A and B are shown apart, each in its own frame.
Chain A
Amino acid sequence: MSKVFQISLGILAAIGGFVDIGDIVFSATAGATLGYQLIWAVLVGAVGIMIYSEMCGRVAAVAKRPVFDVVRERLGYKVGLTTLCASQFVNAMTCAAEVGGVAIVLRYLFGLPYRPLIAVSLLILLVSVWFLPFEWIERVFGFGGLMLIVFAVAAVKLHPNMGALGHGLIPHIDTPSPLIWFYFVVGILGATVAPYEVYFYSSGGVEDGWVPPHDLKLNKLTSILGYALGTVLSVSIMVVAAELFVPQGIEPGFLGTVALAAQTPLGEVGLILALLGMFFAISGASIDTALSGAYNMAQFFGWEWGKYQKPARAPRFTITWMAFFGLAFLVVISGVDPIFVTELSVVFSVVALPLTYVPILLVAGDKNYMGDHANGRLASTLGWVYLVIILVVSLAAVPLLVLTNMGEG
């Protein structure tokens, strides 16, 4: 496979894999509630995930270390176990939200009852992970998720107010409820910098056997271009929601409402593409979260792991990702609203972020480990700046969740 083709595949998979149910829910709700005011927050989050994904990928390529290897080594057993418990709780909740999201999208596509579709979703996901090789999981669900580009087309067709859009790049509060504004900032940052993305990305880098220097370029391009273009999708959803829902006073409490936003300017084709894009993007994220849970457990306890291995060669890893899907199924089948779980999981993921990112930053800057590939001044400065941002946001997350009644006011 040519290098250009390989890089293109990586970038395309990253675009589709960037958007999950958390991004869709928070971008659409923030757009419908606050218009363009929080476009800057999506960009701030995107730069954060680019910086930390690039670092994780570099550590995976140079030191052959995935995130939870690094977490345990740098934070020690005690804090490492605390980080593991927090991350697994968030992974399980996120996985439940995504599995529920897949079932909801299938219901919109086929008009069948919701509960049996939860079982169908579970089956699709289990069979996909069991039979598809790692790179095909990335490609099938990453490329499928690209259908969400329909929101970018819809946004253009709606002729958004460019002045207001530009104003959205500058942080400003134009609402009588500043706490709601802060809640959505936390939600958007949390959804964009979701920790499972770096667990999956770094473990994938080790699985793919990345080696410097060639794969460092691939890593940089994938994490910067892929996430940048993925950001376009998130911003497009926000723009479409702002254009269509703000004037009508609609709050997109259902995934279908978000999909309908693509139908208004593009007709039925827009609606179907939006739903299919959501199906692939959310299914991909379900798989990422379940595998991330298995990667974290195996790396923390030292078990054999890897999707490149036959399942029987990494049996406890396999049982763990199956258990994550099983747990997600039980949560969703109990009748809990997946959108509610999504909002909770995003806000709680923010709390787990600092514990995940501190060890990465320490190892990526350690010349003993990374040699010439250790963080330079720019990466180091940006890493620390983002760590402070993440720390502030993580401290504010739960109080804002309570004070704003989950953004309801």
Chain B
Amino acid sequence: MSDRPQLDLVLRVLDQQIVDWAGRRCGNVDDIAIEGDAGGTATVKGLLVGRDATRRRRPRLLAFFAGPTFGDAPEVEVSWSAIEDVTQVVKLKKFATELGLAAGDDKAAKWIGRIPGS
């Protein structure tokens, strides 16, 4: 068995909270992009975030509830090289806006920001 550190992608990465460099929550890992040919070596390319990334795992009966993007991009791919660490969350090396994440929060903030005390 290899001595290299191992990471269970399904248990420790898939569906985990993503946090950007500033500590801002900016999505969950909706799928993992893996590249490689059948029989060859598979390499993790990056993380997929957004509605379209959940399409294969979405229950048909509840598709309506999983349909909206809530202002986010339908799908964003975050390169594995942009990941700082995987602990209880997936921590990024960059800010969410640089990667196109949390766009929905940015849009909603413009509305909420108009209310006194926001």
B76-101 to A contact mask, C-beta < 8 Å, 1/0:
00000000000010000000000000
A109 proximal to B (CB < 8 A): no
> Which of the residues A63, A76, A85 comes within 8 Å of B65, measured between beta carbons?
A85
B18 x A311 contact (CB < 8 A) = no
Q: How far is the CB of A170 from chain B (nearest CB, A)?
A: 43
A77 x B15 contact (CB < 8 A) = yes
Tell me, in angstroms, the Cα distance from A118 to B11 when the chains sit together: 46
- Count residues on chain B whose CB falls below 8 Å from chain A CBs: 33
- Chain B residue at minimal CB-CB distance from A315: B108
- Count residues on chain A whose CB falls below 8 Å from chain B CBs: 33
CB contact list, A289-347 vs B, under 8 A: 298-305, 310-316, 318-319
Chain A residues within 8 Å of B104, by CB: 303, 316
Tell me, in angstroms, the Cα distance from A345 to B15 when the chains sit together: 29
Tell me, in angstroms, the Cα distance from A130 to B62 when the chains sit together: 32
Chain B residues within 8 Å of A131, by CB: 117
B108 x A319 contact (CB < 8 A) = yes
Tell me, in angstroms, the Cα distance from A300 to B62 when the chains sit together: 15
Tell me, in angstroms, the Cα distance from A69 to B108 when the chains sit together: 22
> Which of the residues B17, B62, B115 comes within 8 Å of A311, measured between beta carbons?
B115
B25 x A303 contact (CB < 8 A) = yes
Tell me, in angstroms, the Cα distance from A298 to B26 when the chains sit together: 10
> Which of the residues A63, A69, A305, A311 comes within 8 Å of B112, measured between beta carbons?
A311
A72 proximal to B (CB < 8 A): yes
A82 proximal to B (CB < 8 A): yes
B105 proximal to A (CB < 8 A): yes
Q: How far is the CB of B96 from chain A (nearest CB, A)?
A: 9
A158 proximal to B (CB < 8 A): no
Tell me, in angstroms, the Cα distance from A72 to B112 when the chains sit together: 28
A77 x B25 contact (CB < 8 A) = no
> Which of the residues A69, A82, A85, A314 comes within 8 Å of B17, measured between beta carbons?
A69
Tell me, in angstroms, the Cα distance from A313 to B25 when the chains sit together: 10
Given A81-B58, A304-B25, A304-B26, check contact A73 B112 (CB 8 Å): no
- Chain A residue at minimal CB-CB distance from B116: A130
B113 proximal to A (CB < 8 A): yes
- Chain B residue at minimal CB-CB distance from A64: B88
CB contact list, A27-77 vs B, under 8 A: 63-65, 69, 72-73, 76-77
Q: How far is the CB of B28 from chain A (nearest CB, A)?
A: 3
Chain B residues within 8 Å of A305, by CB: 25
Given A63-B88, A77-B54, check contact A312 B118 (CB 8 Å): yes
Chain B residues within 8 Å of A73, by CB: 11, 15-16
B66 proximal to A (CB < 8 A): yes
Q: How far is the CB of A399 from chain B (nearest CB, A)?
A: 22
- Chain A residue at minimal CB-CB distance from B11: A73
Q: How far is the CB of A27 from chain B (nearest CB, A)?
A: 34
Tell me, in angstroms, the Cα distance from A78 to B62 when the chains sit together: 9
Chain B residues within 8 Å of A303, by CB: 25, 27, 70, 102, 104-105
Q: How far is the CB of A210 from chain B (nearest CB, A)?
A: 14
Chain A residues within 8 Å of B113, by CB: 312, 315
- Chain B residue at minimal CB-CB distance from A86: B62
Q: How far is the CB of B11 from chain A (nearest CB, A)?
A: 8
Tell me, in angstroms, the Cα distance from A81 to B104 when the chains sit together: 19
> Which of the residues A299, A301, A311 comes within 8 Å of B118, measured between beta carbons?
A311
B109 x A312 contact (CB < 8 A) = yes
- Chain B residue at minimal CB-CB distance from A318: B112
Tell me, in angstroms, the Cα distance from A76 to B88 when the chains sit together: 16
B117 x A82 contact (CB < 8 A) = no
Chain A residues within 8 Å of B108, by CB: 315-316, 318-319
A304 x B105 contact (CB < 8 A) = yes
A301 x B58 contact (CB < 8 A) = no
Give me the 7 closest cross-chain CB pairs, A-B, nearest first. Answer: A302-B28, A315-B108, A302-B27, A77-B57, A312-B118, A315-B112, A315-B109
Q: Which residues of A contact B (CB under 8 A)?
A: 63-65, 69, 72-73, 76-78, 80-82, 84-85, 130-131, 298-305, 310-316, 318-319
| Interchain Cβ contacts under 8 Å between A and B, 23 examples | A72-B28, A73-B16, A76-B57, A77-B15, A78-B57, A78-B59, A81-B65, A84-B65, A85-B62, A85-B65, A130-B115, A302-B17, A302-B26, A302-B28, A303-B25, A303-B27, A311-B115, A311-B117, A311-B118, A312-B118, A313-B109, A315-B108, A318-B118
